[in-house]
Every structure is written in structure tokens, then in C-alpha cells.
Amino acid sequence: MKNGILTWCPVLRLAVFAIVALLPACAMQQSAEPPSVIYANAHSGGSVVAFSAAGDVLASGGWEGGVRLWHTSRQQQLAQWKAHDDSVNGIGFTDDDRSIITAGYDGVLAEWDRRGNLGRQQQTPSPVTHMVLAADAGEIVTGHADGSVRVWRLSDFHLLQARALHRGPVKAVAVDPVRQRYASSGADGAVHVFGESGPEQQLAVPPVDSWTLAFSPDGQSLYGGGWFRLFRWHLSDGSIEVLPTRHHGIIRSMQFLEGGSELATISRQTDSSVYLLDPQSGAVTREFQRHALCGASIAVSADGRYLGTTSDDASVRIWALGRARATGND
């Protein structure tokens, strides 16, 4: 792959499967909750997932540039199409659930209907390494291989602002659900927060690169994930706390549940665990069956009923959580 985010894990796929076969206790702990459904071979490798606003559909994107839509309770595929010429690095539904927005390492930002018909597209100046759709605010935020972060108007893909913030690729972007501000982390280790105008704030540098970001639902903190640990930045002064977790690899993707009481996480590189964590301590509150290979993306439906994941093992998985839960931001 050319996107610079996928690492050695896919190369060792056969070796890892052999290890998993020899060590079943490591691959599937008895306390872990199995998924309600597994869609095997959904992609050549999974890269992103996102739920519709109604929670009845999960969208997934993969390394091959394909997009698929899955019904969360009927266990069926609804649609599939080729969206990009390289990996899909961002996906999300508009708030009316009529359209899906995708962004790829080919540098294209696109809107599709639910049958896969292209509505419009925008060629951006650089490969997209991560995208977050803030449908309520009517904005799209993209991070790029050239180190820039760009904010686009959802209604017409008009570029609202562009900031060259990082030396090297952007690893993650996030949108504050309370205030009109954004965050980015990069391969240079830097983490920035900025608004619609004015200078950006550089936060305390984490001990290792942050591969994922999420604002807390109250807007007071920014969370990140690196090797084994959570990072919590206090946005009042930019200071950082480092929290240990049970992850044994890079925390690759995270999403808050409503109110900030729990944080859904998935890890990769030397791990593929799926957890709900206590964001105050990093302790596991709920454990789900891990993927066979490196984890890539996690999402929780807005109605709180479903958890979805994808990974390098090419599968898409859905869990019925069994009680009402809801999400914050990616």
C-alpha cells in the first residue's frame, strides 16, 4: 500500500495466522464477547467503518478502494462499489443518511448515494490520510500526506481553510463536538488544536506519536492513542496525562460514548484487541473478541445499539451491545 499508514502487519499475515492457530488462548479469550456477525473477506484489508445516523447501516472501506454497506440487524450486504484508486481513509454518512462521504489516499473527496452512484467529487492537493465528517456542523476535516489539515464545507466541498501544521503526514484529525475547533496529530509527534480563525495551539508532545484523536463530549479534553497507552490533554493549558491500558499495541482508532463515560478502542501492530475503556483510568470496562490481525477502525452507532470494527484480516464485525449506548466523535 502507498498510504504510509499500513505497516508490516499485512506482510506477516500467514505467520500470524499460524501463531494464532497454535495459541488459541491468546487469539480468543473466554471473557471476550463474540461478534453478532462477521463479514469475512469484506475487503482486501479493512481501513475504516462508520454507522448511519439511524444506526441501521454500517459502511466500511478498504485498502482496495472499495466501499460496502451492511445492514446491522439483517446480516446482509446492501451495496458495494469502487470508490477510490487507493485505500479509503475516511467514511461517514450525512445527517439525513442519504449520502456517504468518502476520502482516499488517491486525494479524492467524494459524495455517493446509497447505491454507489457518484454525486460529486473534489481532487484535493495531497493524499488524504484521515478524514472526519462533522455532519451536524456541515463540515469535513481532512488530514493529508503533505502535513496539512483542510476543512471543507459539506454542502458543496468548498475549502474553508487549510493549515500546514506538520512535518510529515497527518496521522489523525478530530472535531470538537462542543466548540467549533479541530485537532490534528502527525508523524512529527506534534498535536495541534485550532479554530475557524486565529493561531493554532500546540499541545504537549506525547511520548510517542498519537495515531488517533477524539475530543471528550464535554469539550474539556482531547484524547489520543499510541503504543499501549491513552493520552489525555487538558485543553485549558495543553498539558498531558498518560494512562496505561491493556492494549499490547498501537491504539489505532477510538470513539467516545455519549457523556464520555466510556471510550471504544481498537489496537494494531502487535495487537488486535477491542475494548470499552474507562477514559479516566484506562481500565477495561468491556472486552470484545479480537480480530485475527491488526485492528484498523472502530465505531459505535448513535443509538447505542451496535459496535462495528474492521482490521487487516479483511473482515467487518458487528456487535449488538444489548443496551442503549450512544457516541461522541471519532
Residue 29's domain is classified under what CATH number? 2.130.10.10
- Residue 46 in domain: yes
* Torsional sign, CA 66, 71, 75, 78: negative
- Angle ∠(323,329,330) on CA atoms, nearest 5: 105
- Residue 208 in domain: yes
Task: Report pLDDT for 5.
Answer: 44
Q: State how beta strands 128-134 and 139-144 pair.
A: antiparallel
- Residue 301 in domain: yes
Quick: pLDDT tens for 32-85. Answer: 999 999 999 999 999 999 999 999 999 999 999 999 999 998 889 999 999 999
Whether the per-residue pLDDT at 8 is higher than 80: the answer is no
Write down the mean pLDDT value for the chain. 89
- Angle ∠(133,89,226) on CA atoms, nearest 5: 95
Task: Report pLDDT for 21.
Answer: 34
Quick: pLDDT tens for 241-272. Answer: 999 999 999 999 999 987 789 999 999 999 99
The Cα 250–Cα 188 span in angstroms is 16
- Residue 109 in domain: no
- Percent of the chain beyond pLDDT 70? 88
Give the pLDDT band (50/70/90) at residue 111.
very high
Task: Report pLDDT for 63.
Answer: 98
- Residue 112 in domain: no
As a whole number, mean pLDDT of residues 164-185 equals 95
Task: Report pLDDT for 157.
Answer: 97
**pTM for this prediction:** 0.89
Quick: pLDDT tens for 119-174. Answer: 999 999 999 999 999 998 999 999 999 999 999 999 999 999 999 999 999 999 99
As a whole number, mean pLDDT of residues 205-228 equals 96
- Residue 102 in domain: no
- Residue 98 in domain: no
* Residue 20 DSSP class: H
- Residue 229 in domain: yes
Q: Which domain does 24 fall in, by range?
A: 9-63+124-320
The total number of structural domains in the chain stands at 1
Task: Report pLDDT for 323.
Answer: 53
